[in-house]
Amino acid sequence: MPTGPRWWQKATFYQIYVRSWRDGNGDGTGDLPGVIEGLDYLSWLGVDAIWLSPTMPSPDADWGYDVSDYKGVHPELGTMADLDRLVQEAGRRHIAVLLDLVPNHTSSAHPWFVDALSGPSAEHRGYYVWARPKPDGSPPNNWTDATGAPAWTLDPASGEYYLHNYLPAQPDLNWWDERVHMEFEDIIRFWFGRGVAGFRIDVAHGLYKDRSLRDNPQPRDGDHPASLTGGRRTVYNSRRPEVHKVYKRWRQVADSYDPPRVLLGETWEFDPKKLGDYLGRQEPELHLAFNFPFVLSPLEARPLASVVERTLSALPRGAAPVWTASNHDVGRFASRWCHDDPRAVRAALVLLMALPGAVVLYYGDELGLGDVDVPLGRQRDLMTRGRPGQACRDRCRTPMPWAPGDNYGFCPPGVQPWLPFGDHQTTNVRHQRDDPGSALNLCRHLVALRKSGQIGGLGPMERLWLDDQVWSFRLDGTVTVLNLSPAPVARELPLAGPAQVLCHTSASAVGGHLGPALELGPWEATVLAC
């Protein structure tokens, strides 16, 4: 894995949805041997670390986010020997491996929950959140799960309800029980002992629930829609202040290793200060925390600049931000931000990679891969399939296109992949690798600039220009200029003279000089050495 103090603060991470990245055994489903086969590509791309979507055994009600064994490997994805070899082979290429850890809930098939169902006196009953019904037999409160249904399911044998913030097959753990803390500290030490470099922590803002199980309140003016569930503010079934003591303990464990292990939180917080709290103010907590206001902003100059500047001002001293534009839940930035316009894709990549701190690419981002319209009969995601008004998450989980032709090199010709492809005759690795002007080669160049320290540094960020179309900022001896609009613009920047082009949405411009007066075409972006 990468070495050096705080290497993660400026790292380029790469999220792999394992089932969709590369099929190593020819059954139509991506797997750990397939990830191993693709390590040379990741080394060529230059990434510092990979984050694997859940690899632990699961009934797959939520495709691995319903864990039935925290110390195993899903048999459809490979074996423990495969995972050990992946960690070893990635390490030989100086690539760290992060696993997905799901501490908010388990599968209903987990032995803990199976035992808990045996009765109120069961050994593991207290591992989960149980409550008596109201006098009329209805659920204990107004909490709803991620599908909009009540977040409680009745156990007829005991007459009690159990809590699930997601599917009924994903019962929530009770973090008020000290035994749950001990179980997870043992789990993270188990994986650290096998050489895993860290964890992406699922639902990191969750874990604790209000002791009194109070009703969630109505929304307030200014609440971000993504912070609401069932039209209510989720202040009692998640985002509880007690969660911070978990990460203080885990941070001590992670930092006790040499090199230190990394904790990356899925933190759905929309207040920059509260987001910064997860990184620790008096005591260290998570090393990195995802910024969802950035992810969910439009690709427009003013909204993005506002999120970035407010985030940087709210971080604890010495902490680093982490930026991403796509993931397995929210969709791909090429479609959501860029409406599949290749020019906008290039501008978004320059923006993402030039910001200070760490970056997480979702597999295919480097190609400008867009969402795929998956027919209802091929959809696999129970959380979103058939829900009115909500796009199915399968749209952004389709297989990685490696080469032109049948099944795009993901799995053998004639084998049906677990999810269908879109049209990727030009949006594939082989085609773009041979094209100097492709999104892939632009992304590789940006990763190299980050590794060399020329962009993505953690120095003070100075705004040079901001209007409805153009955002320009200075950072560590570079100036980034972004026309985030479909119209040409002309701007005069406060530069001493023409500056060398380190990176540009047009590969032919690299190495030349631009400024101070700039004429920018639609979605044109550049990084200048000043």
Q: Are strands 49-52 and 96-101 parallel, antiparallel or unpaired?
A: parallel
**Residue in this structure with the two tokens 């985002």, named with its chain if needed:** 239
Q: How far apart are the first and last CA of the chain?
A: 33
User: Do the Cβ atoms of 521 and 482 come closer than 8 Å?
Assistant: no
User: Do the Cβ atoms of 509 and 501 come closer than 8 Å?
Assistant: yes
Q: Please give the backbone phi and psi of residue 466, each rounded to the nearest 5 degrees, phi first.
A: -150, 125
What span, in angstroms and rounded, lies between the C-alpha atoms of 522 and 343?
A: 8
**CA-to-CA separations, 171 to 102, 104, 158, 167, 468, in angstroms, rounded:** 12, 9, 16, 8, 46
User: Do the Cβ atoms of 14 and 49 come closer than 8 Å?
Assistant: yes
What span, in angstroms and rounded, lies between the C-alpha atoms of 245 and 264?
A: 16
Q: Please give the backbone phi and psi of residue 358, each rounded to the nearest 5 degrees, phi first.
A: -90, 155
**Residue in this structure with the two tokens 């999220």, named with its chain if needed:** 15
Exposure pattern of 126-165 as b/e (b: 16+ CB <10 Å)?
Answer: bbbbbeeeeeeeebbbbbbbbbeebbbbeeeebebbbbbb
What span, in angstroms and rounded, lies between the C-alpha atoms of 279 and 283?
A: 9
Angle formed by the axes of helices 342-354 and 439-451, nearest 10°: 10
Q: By three-state DSSP, how is residue 409 classified? A: helix
What span, in angstroms and rounded, lies between the C-alpha atoms of 293 and 421?
A: 30
Kindly state the greatest CA–CA separation across the chain: 77
Q: Which of 60, 266, 365, 371 is catalytic?
A: 266
What span, in angstroms and rounded, lies between the C-alpha atoms of 145 and 136?
A: 21
Q: By three-state DSSP, how is residue 473 classified? A: strand
What span, in angstroms and rounded, lies between the C-alpha atoms of 30 and 20?
A: 5
Q: Pick from 366, 309, 287, 356: which is nearest to 334 by CA?
A: 366
Tokens of 396: 């952004």
3-state secondary structure 344-393: HHHHHHHHHHHCCCEEEEECCHHHCCCCCCCCHHHCCCCCCCCCCCCCCH
Beta strands in 66-107 (DSSP E): 96-101
For this structure, is 202 an active site residue?
yes
Q: Which of 172, 202, 269, 524 is catalytic?
A: 202
The one-letter amino acid at 253: V
Say which residues have a Cβ less than 8 Å from residue 500's Cβ, sequence separation at least 6.
Answer: 511, 512, 513, 528, 529
What span, in angstroms and rounded, lies between the C-alpha atoms of 501 and 513?
A: 6
For this structure, is 266 an active site residue?
yes
Query: Catalytic residue positions?
Result: 202, 266
